[in-house]
Amino acid sequence: MYKILGKALAVGVLSTLASLMISFAFVPMMGGEVAGAGLVMTIVCPIAISIPASLVHFYLAEKVRSANAALAQAKDELADAYARLQYQAQRDALTGVFTRATFMAALDECSRAGSHGGLLFLDVDHFKSVNDRFGHAAGDEALIRIGALLSRLVAEDDLVGRLGGEEFAIFLHAASPERMLDRSQAIREAVEAIDLRTASGVRIALGISIGAFHCAPRFDPVEALAASDRNLYRAKSMGRNMVVA
């Protein structure tokens, strides 16, 4: 408020000076004299008009400025909230990797772009027994650890998603068949090496079966996932904790 008052007083002073300059410049030219009541009016009128008008003007201008600043802040906060919601909608709440819908949409985009690479379908071995023996909290922790591990082991442009339950999928962008198999084995070994323990210190052994399928450019995402799923079924039927392509 003091800032607004200061501006209004400054306008009053400038208005008064301008009024005096105009009066002393033009009144003598018209045969008059700036003195007495005329001088008083020359000084009082600008003050009486400019200061109240300036107070109203600067007050309203400050209100508009504050409203615009609040609106801009609200807009930024809304954009941040929307970005967070969009991110959360695309990510699995437990593991932080893509949801099934987001993964499939991204896989479809890769296909449309003419990309090729390795598609992995992963299933945590004997996961039901982990829940049954050690509790669902231990099962959730296993999924969290595996999701974090998969995210670390892939490249920035690769895709990682949780398809449901203990099932995950990975698309290794532009990977050759050889690299696809190498990465699959590295992932299997890394999951097997996870040191997950109960509160009493009992180690919970983890394993993962992987069905791998190499996707040619313009592949069909649904058919490719079905093919990797068939290879996953073979891996599980052959003894689990292995890679089949």
Catalytically active residues, by annotation: 166
- Give all strands of the β-sheet with 167-173 in edge-to-edge order: 159-164, 167-173, 117-124, 208-215, 243-244
Buried b (16+ CB within 10 A) or exposed e, 118-133: bbbbbbbbebeebbee
Residue among 228, 149, 239 at smallest CA distance from 188: 149
What is the CB neighbour count within 10 angstroms for residue 36?
8
Residue 124 pairs in a beta bridge with 208
Residue among 180, 210, 208 at smallest CA distance from 194: 208
